[in-house]
């Protein structure tokens, strides 16, 4: 098994001993993205809406670095500090993905790194014509 590290400066640098994503064969395993602005490495201001947009932008940057798009994601796991904000995240997610939407799980957690209100990780199926 050969693991290839995916890294882009267009998404936040890892804040621990992990990679932004790892490719194994035709599968890309994306680490969870929180609402860090990659330029400042600070959580974005503006509540759950701004944070969800930042998370999906970060995910798009990592997918792009692997030669994929958000539409190549087959499974998402969303971690939220407050499921009362689930509807807002759903609305924002729908602006970044098209049908058929990825499979998804959503879990409420007690806290997330750096005070983020949302974190999202994904699994991407890389297509032969999109592999770099």
Q: Tell whether 132 is covered by a domain.
A: no
Residue 98 and residue 69: Cα distance in Å, rounded? Answer: 11
Q: Is 118 helix (H, G, I), strand (E, B) or coil?
A: strand
pLDDT of residue 131: 43
Q: Tell whether 52 is covered by a domain.
A: yes
How many domains does the chain fold into?
1
* Residues composing the chain: 132
Q: Tell whether 29 is covered by a domain.
A: yes
Handedness of CA 77, 80, 86, 90 (dihedral sign): negative
- The domain that contains 95 carries what CATH number? 3.30.1330.40
Q: Tell whether 38 is covered by a domain.
A: yes
pLDDT of residue 128: 61
pLDDT of residue 1: 81
Give the burial class of 28: count Cβ atoms within 10 A of its Cβ; 0-12 exposed, 13-18 middle, 19 or more buried. Answer: buried
pLDDT of residue 90: 97
pLDDT of residue 132: 46
pLDDT beneath 50, residues of the chain: 129-132
Q: Tell whether 130 is covered by a domain.
A: no
pLDDT of residue 130: 45
pLDDT of residue 127: 77
């Amino acid at each position: 098994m050969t693991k290839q590290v995916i890294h882009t400066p267009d998404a936040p640098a890892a804040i621990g001993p992990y990679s932004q994503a790892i490719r194994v064969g035709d599968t890309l395993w994306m680490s969870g993205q929180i609402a860090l602005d990659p330029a400042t490495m600070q959580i974005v201001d503006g509540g759950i809406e701004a944070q969800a947009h930042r998370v999906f932008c970060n995910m798009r940057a990592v997918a792009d670095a692997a030669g994929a798009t958000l539409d190549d994601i087959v499974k998402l796991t969303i971690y939220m500090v407050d499921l009362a904000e689930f509807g807002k995240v759903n609305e924002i997610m729908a602006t970044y993905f098209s049908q058929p939407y990825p499979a998804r799980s959503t879990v409420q957690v007690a806290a997330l790194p750096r005070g983020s209100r949302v974190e999202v990780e994904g699994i991407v199926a890389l297509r032969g014509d999109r592999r770099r």
